[in-house]
Amino acid sequence: MQNLHKRLFLISKKGFAISQQDATSYGIGWKYSSDLKDIELKSDVYEIVNDYPGGFGFDLGGIEHGNTINLDTVPFNDMRKLMVEAYKNGGLVTASWHLGNPVTGGSSWDTSGTNVIPQILKGGAFHEKYRTWVKRLADFLKSVQYNNEPIPIIFRPFHEMNGSWFWWGGENVTAIDYIKLWRETVVMLRDEYNVHNLLYVYSPNKLEPQDDYMKYYPADAYVDILGIDIYDFYNTEDYVKAIKHDLKIVKEKAEERKKLYAFTETGLEKLNTENWFTEILYPNIKNTGIAWVLFWRNYTVNHFYMPYKTQLLENDLIKFSKYPETLFLKEVQQIKTKK
C-alpha cells in the first residue's frame, strides 16, 4: 500500500491520472468477454488516443449479495481479471461500492427504510446480515491477486454522502451514524477479515451552500485520500464555480492532514459541449494537485462520459491527451517508486 501511496504522490507532482469507470469492461457497442481468447483489452479511450486511461474504475455493487455480476452486469470474474490487468500494466485501480440497502433489500437508491445505519451497526437487528455482506466484499477484494498477492486498490465506499439519494447519505442519516458506519466497516475489513490492500477515499458530492465538506469525515486514521464528485449538468458556469470552490477546500483539508486528494468523479453526460475537455475542464483542474480525475462510464449513447470514435469530442480528447498534466497509461506506468 505504501508503494501505491508513493506512486500517487509522484503522479500528483507530474499531473493527474486520466481515469474512467469500467473503461475496459465495456464501451459503446462492445463488451469485454472472457470467452474471447487473447483479446487485447479494449477501451473507447484507446480507440481515440492510442493509449488507455491511467486509472481504471470498477463498482462492487452486488458482491454483498453473493451475486456473480455487479449492478451494471459486469461479471465479478471478469472484473477481477480486468483489475489485475490494469495493475500489471501499471495503472491505478479504483473501486466504488453501490451496495444495496441491507434493511429493505432494495438498491443503494432505496431510501425508504428509515434509519438504516443504526440497524446494521453493532447491536442492530441487521448487524449479522451486514457482517456477511462485508465478508463477501472482503473475500472478493482479497481474491484480486497478482503473483499470489492481493493487488492494491483505491476503495471509495459510501460516496456522495452529503446528498440524499443513497440510503447512507443526507437526510437519511445523521453524520454521527455515518461516521460510525465508516469506522466499523474499516475495522471489520481490516481487523476481522484481514483486508490490507486498500487505500480509503472520502468522497462527498459537490458542495451545496449549506454543506460543510468535513461534516461526515470519519477521522484521519480511517481515511487515506480526500476527494469530491462534481458533474457538469449542462451548466458550465455552475460547474466551473463548483470545481474552483470545492477543489480548493479539498486541497486545503488534505494538505492540512498531509493527505493526497483527487477528483473522484466527474463528467458531462453525452458530451455535447464543444471543446469541453480542453476549454472547460482542463483550465480548472490544471495545477490543482489532484492525483487523478475519474470520468464515469460509457454505457450507451445516452449515458457516456468519454468520447468514442466519431463522437463530437474525439479531437478535443486527443488535444487534451497531449497536455503535459493529463497522464494516460503510458505515462502513469513510467511513474515508479524505487524499491
Q: To which residue does cell 468535513 refer?
A: 214
Q: Which of 334, 333, 337, 336 is nearest to 87 (CA)?
A: 333
DSSP 151: P
Question: Is there a contact between 168 and 116 (Cβ–Cβ < 8 Å)?
Answer: yes
CB of 150 to ligand BMA, least distance (A): 23
Between 56 and 193, CB nearer to ligand BMA: 56
CB of 108 to ligand BMA, least distance (A): 8
Question: Is there a contact between 96 and 90 (Cβ–Cβ < 8 Å)?
Answer: no
Between 11 and 23, CB nearer to ligand BMA: 23
Between 213 and 231, CB nearer to ligand BMA: 231
Between 72 and 85, CB nearer to ligand BMA: 72
The residues that touch ligand BMA, with contacts defined as CB under 6 A, are 59, 71-72, 98, 296-297
Q: Apex CA 161: angle with CA 132 and CA 80, to 5°?
A: 50
d(CA 71, CA 54): 24
Between 89 and 107, CB nearer to ligand BMA: 107
CB of 27 to ligand BMA, least distance (A): 14
CB of 113 to ligand BMA, least distance (A): 20
Look up residue 302 and give its amino acid: N
CB of 225 to ligand BMA, least distance (A): 20
C-alpha cell at 120: 446494521
**What is the helix, strand, coil percentage profile of the chain, to 5?**
35, 20, 45
**Count of CB atoms situated within 10 Å of the CB of 238:** 13
